[in-house]
Chains A and B, each alone.
Chain A
Amino acid sequence: MENFFFWTFVLTMIGSGIGVIANKNPVASAMNLVLMIISIAGLFVLLGAYFLAAVQVLVYAGAVMVLFLFIIMLLDLKAEQQANFRMLGIIGGLLTVLLLGIGFFLAGKNITSLVGKMGIVIQNNSIKALGELLFGNYALAFEAVGVLLLISMIGVIILSKKDLD
């Protein structure tokens, strides 16, 4: 049963991933990306990381991708529909896939040691444990991410308002 779900999610993920880059219509690409995000959430569920799965759907599928779609529709990207694939792009993409594949394959050989390190959250699958970890052990990293987001927000405001003064 678990195998069946694993392969369903993985195949959907890979298929929709190819759909994202192969579609010429930007809206179709975005919808494929949504499908991919949801199947990743499915993989998280199989790993027992229910909180992560819910947040994945809520933040990425529910908010970020909606904004993507919103922008695509507002800009009305019709020129992109006719653009053809460039040889250089295809070669570059395949090369990236190859290199990443080798990298992940080599990393995957040591996967047993990784599981031991990530076991803290996975074993106590409660939001309380996750919160204690996030605001205890990793408080500094968490705050740093917050500052990073703040900087990007201020950057957007400055970029969009620079004509005013």
Chain B
Amino acid sequence: MDGSLTVFIISTLIKIAVVVGVLLGIVAYTVLAERKICAAIQDRVGPNRVGLPFLKGRFWGLGQPIADAFKLMLKEQFVPGVVKRFYYTLAPFFVMVPPLVIIGLIPFASIEPITISSLKIVVPQPGVIINAGAGVLWAFAISSLSVYGIVLAGWASNSKYAFLGGIRSTAQMISYEVALGFSIIPVFLLTGSLNFSDIVKFQIEHGWLMIPFFAQHLDWKLFVMWPFLFISFLIFLVALFAETNRAPFDLPESEQELVAGYNTEYGGMKFGMFFLGEYAAMVAASALIITLFFGGWSLPFGLLTKGVGIGGLIIQALVFLLKILVFLFLFIWIRWTLPRFRYDQLMNLGWKIFLPLSMVNIGSVAVLLALFKTL
């Protein structure tokens, strides 16, 4: 086999292993963080009993995710008698897989090839698993498939609560997908690219879209553009909350009305996959926000971006991770402080406010860009 191909395959496998491992670790600890933060907001203590294995002491409940994972996996795989078995089994995979693929599309570090001189090999695109030309479009295409998981779960469960949850979720996700897609077109107009790495590169040179003074060279155009980009960011953020079915948009699983919504009839690891899928989608959503609006993996002022080797790569990945954690905190914070929308309010917000607003926003940014060109 060709040498560079071998390096490519091995480096890709390593990247996949690392990224999936880190992702599942974050997901497990986000669940704990969710319970801890929720407890803090409600003035409780939260889970603090389970310590780490082989160590004495409780460590603030840090062993809880491990115990949760074992509990979910060792539970009996009970399937209710009246479900449509094939689709019932298929549905959790549709929720679990799309976020993993999206994470694979997003660069977590610089994609410039790095040379490992001791082994005499050149690793291509070290900072991303799939460097797709129209990466953002692919991310949206893949994420739009996750709705099948919820629809099929609701339908195959053969239960009224699950069915109502599935129907609600379909309507909600379709409505907000339109606003989600429209809201980031200004970013593409400005950066002139649909590739995540190109968008990050643009932000390193001209400034992060939301924090324009974090730039190598200050660009006054970006400051003029900021209000429009902020509207774009706001719509994108809210639409992402709706897409991930998180409060205040958790109507598909509103427990007061629908028991648990689309996953009412699920138990054991099948429920666990819905659960993991929801948190993985949150991580993917945070990564999308960061890459499009907050400079991706880059440090402020374009520090440590060029020719930094493996050490720099790890620092970039850690910066990316840190930014993700900030947005995960935002997700949790909002869930436990805001009440749920009513269904008609949800539809009004999506179709009557966000959709027209994002269209006007696209038009304004396009006109501004045309003006800049003539200047």
Q: How far is the CA of A29 from the CA of B79 in the complex (A)?
A: 24
Q: How far is the CA of A64 from the CA of B233 in the complex (A)?
A: 26
Return the chain A residue nearest B140 by Cβ.
Answer: A58
Dominant SS at the A interface?
helix
Interchain CB contact (< 8 A) of A74 among B138, B145, B167: B167
Map CB proximity to A onto B160-179 as digits: 1 under 8 Å, 0 otherwise: 00010011001101100100
Interchain CB contact (< 8 A) of B144 among A31, A61, A74, A127: A61
Interchain CB contact (< 8 A) of A27 among B134, B155, B173: B155
Q: How far is the CA of A73 from the CA of B167 in the complex (A)?
A: 8
A126 within 8 A of B: yes
Q: Give the one of A27, A54, A69 with max B CB within 10 A.
A: A54
Given contacts A67-B174, A73-B167, A126-B133, contact A54 B138 (CB under 8 A): yes
- Chain B residues contacting A63 (CB-CB under 8 Å) are 144, 174, 177
Q: How far is the CA of A127 from the CA of B194 in the complex (A)?
A: 8
- Chain A residues contacting B151 (CB-CB under 8 Å) are 66, 69-70, 73
Q: How far is the CA of A54 from the CA of B141 in the complex (A)?
A: 6
- Chain A residues contacting B133 (CB-CB under 8 Å) are 50-51, 125-127
A145 within 8 A of B: no
A101 within 8 A of B: no
* B239 CB to nearest chain A CB (Å): 15
A residues 29-56 with Cβ under 8 Å of B? Answer: 31, 34, 50-51, 54-55
A residues 115-165 with Cβ under 8 Å of B? Answer: 125-127
Binding site for B on A (CB under 8 A): 27, 31, 34, 50-51, 54-55, 57-58, 61-63, 66-67, 69-70, 73-74, 125-127
Per CB-CB distance, the 4 closest pairs between chain A and chain B, nearest first, are: A62-B144, A57-B141, A58-B141, A54-B137
